[in-house]
Chains A and B, each alone.
Chain A
Amino acid sequence: MIRAIAARELRSLFFSPLAWTMLAVVQVIVAYLFLAQVDFFLQIQPRLPQMPGAPGLTEIVVAPTFGSAALILLLVVPMLTMRLISDELRNQTLSLLFSAPVSMTEIILGKYCGVLGYLLIQLLLIALLPCALLLGGSLDVGILASGLLGLLLLLAGFAAVGLFMSTLTAQPVIAAISTFGVLLLLWIIDWSGAAGSKGASVFGYLSMLRHYESLLKGVFNSTDVVYYLLLIALFIILSIRRLDSYRLQH
């Protein structure tokens, strides 16, 4: 049942030009940033062997590319997730799902998997860029894998937040703006509080960026993975509760 809902969601996404446009725009920008990074590597390459403990190709090219890709996707994902539930609320199509023998959990997970499917395609396209380097050089597969895992978890977190925001309003634009607001806040939340203070460590833990950065460096720390899994679970549960409340007393 989850698969049926996810498949329809993904299909509807690709029936509109939105999904294609976004794939293309993100790919072009990320590819440009990637090329700039490769250029930079070629410039400093002759000097690298003289430096002790110099960073390799993967550190110089892949990590910054994924870092900027995350920032671009922070802007793009809200526009993808905004329609998930809002559109159904606005067009009053939710009653189709409500009167079918489908649970709220299945509806939310179906929607979530649909948008996750799209993001996987996006991720695959981005992953192709560093893989192109394999033609002429060698990469640190460990760092690449950990970076990809980081990006995947990050996107999954974005999508969960976006899904929840979409259950709150029948106006997709409002859902998009609030998703963007929440994501950006979670991104920069560690800026507050002087380093070393008690608040700083809490905010530091909450920051999406912190956890992503360590994965990009190739540091696989279960704290980071658990952080994303908790974030995803939290917003999915909130979405289910929210959807359920549409039937209840207002």
Chain B
Amino acid sequence: MDSDNLIKVEQLSRWYGPLRAVDDISFEVRRGEVLGFLGPNGAGKSTTMQILSGNLAPSAGRVLITGKDILDEPEAAKAALGYLPEQPPLYRELTVDEYLGYCARLNRIPREQRRGAVDRAKERCGLTEVGRRLIGNLSKGYQQRTGIAQAIIHSPAVVILDEPTVGLDPIQIREIRALIRELGGEHSVILSTHILPEVQAVCDRVQIIHRGHLVFSDTIDSLTRQQTVSSLRAGFRNPPPAAELARLPGVLEVEELGAGLVRLRFDPERDITDALLGRAMEAGWRPYELTPEIKTLEQIFVDITSRDTGTPHAVAEPQAQGEAA
């Protein structure tokens, strides 16, 4: 079981002078898992990515890539790693072919396999037609793709992508997302992004980091399954006073939206639908609409990051959940 954890991060911290950019975070990523790493600007996302990729040494804690410590055995760990930083590391004076050939050499791909590796990476990232063009003359989207191609050229066990879809057009974004999903099949992928639908579209698990702390961690599945319904939108032809609705067991808050519509916020542990409908029939409120409002990732994100960070939040244990399920 342990050998299947391709990335293991233990109590990682990083200070910049007095500033704690990353404060004591631990997590694991399993083989074939796509982990979405979310957080507002300056939350410590990129710092974490840089530490994971060996570009930055942690102040405390350690990082294991396929079981190899990135500081103690850097070469073994880095051989299993592909990294796309926020700013793709491109040499503008080289052509795409030359550049990818150089990356293949750097990643110690044997000479006879280099051509094949370059061709495969180009094909996967849709670069086949621009192989002979100078990187400096490519559009932002193609440069971004070249950056991704560089990260996957040696088929690393772990791929770390820092905002990979920035600057791409919608069609390219879809292609790149499909590529990430495909990568998730055989590799472990860590994806950092601002774009929430992207996380929902491609990730198996999501983590939110806020002011250096890991404040949320859950699988996308259980997110859509459990954590979702905590409010209902109800419409009545004959609306009752709000106070009466508030008396229903489990209702926490009633918000009147006008035209007979109300939003009922309730304790997610207790489903109020039956009670509400029963009461409505009894009292003749004539309900015509009842919509469970799904708590989206966006709401969770906003909830967590706009809260004060004075109190540490409980971090869901995804591993335990996964095994229990």
Contacts and interface: CB of A to CB of B under 8 A. Distances in A.
A100 B55 contact: no
B91 interface: yes
Given A101-B79, A247-B55, A250-B16, A96 B108 contact: no
Contacts, number: 78
A198 to B, nearest CB: 44
Interface in A1-31: 1, 4-5, 8, 11-12, 15-16
B23 to A, nearest CB: 15
Contacts of B75: 101-103
A249 B91 contact: no
Given A4-B106, A247-B54, A247-B56, A99 B78 contact: yes
A95 interface: yes
B37 interface: no
Contact of A4 (B81, B83, B89, B102): B102
Contacts of B81: 99
B83 A99 contact: yes
B166 interface: no
Given A100-B78, A247-B54, A1 B93 contact: no
A92 B85 contact: yes
A97 B107 CA distance: 9
B106 A1 contact: yes
Nearest to A107: B106
Interface in A165-184: none
B57 interface: yes
Interface residues of A, number: 25
Contacts of A11: 94, 98
Given A100-B78, A247-B57, A249-B59, A93 B15 contact: no
A40 interface: no
A35 to B, nearest CB: 36
Given A92-B89, A93-B91, A99 B57 contact: no
Contact of A101 (B57, B89, B102, B107): B107
Given A16-B93, A92-B87, A101 B53 contact: no
Given A4-B106, A16-B93, A249-B59, A99 B15 contact: no
B83 A95 contact: yes
Given A8-B102, A15-B93, A99 B55 contact: yes
A94 B56 CA distance: 12
A191 interface: no
Interface in A83-116: 91-103
A163 to B, nearest CB: 18
Contacts of A102: 75, 78, 106
Interface in A39-54: none
B105 interface: yes
B47 interface: no
A4 B78 CA distance: 17
B195 interface: no
Contact of B108 (A1, A93, A97, A98): A1
A248 interface: yes
Interface in A226-250: 247-250
A249 B78 CA distance: 20
Contacts of B54: 98-99, 247
Nearest to B56: A247
Interface string B227-243: 00000000000000000
Nearest to B57: A247
B89 A94 contact: yes
A12 B93 contact: yes
A248 B57 contact: yes
A103 B74 CA distance: 8
A44 to B, nearest CB: 50
Contacts of A100: 78, 103, 106-107
A248 to B, nearest CB: 5
B15 to A, nearest CB: 7
A4 B105 contact: yes
A249 B76 CA distance: 23
B53 A95 contact: yes
Contacts of B98: 11
A235 B93 CA distance: 28
A248 B54 CA distance: 10
B90 interface: yes
B144 interface: no
B106 A250 contact: no
B312 interface: no
B56 A96 contact: no
Contact of B89 (A93, A103, A250): A93
9 contacts: A11-B98, A93-B89, A95-B89, A96-B150, A97-B106, A101-B75, A101-B108, A247-B54, A247-B55
Given A4-B102, A92-B85, A96-B106, 12 more contacts: A1-B106, A11-B94, A15-B93, A94-B89, A95-B53, A95-B85, A96-B89, A100-B78, A101-B74, A101-B79, A247-B54, A250-B16
Interface of A: 1, 4-5, 8, 11-12, 15-16, 91-103, 247-250
Interface of B: 15-17, 50, 53-57, 59, 74-76, 78-79, 81-83, 85, 87, 89-94, 98, 102-103, 105-108, 150
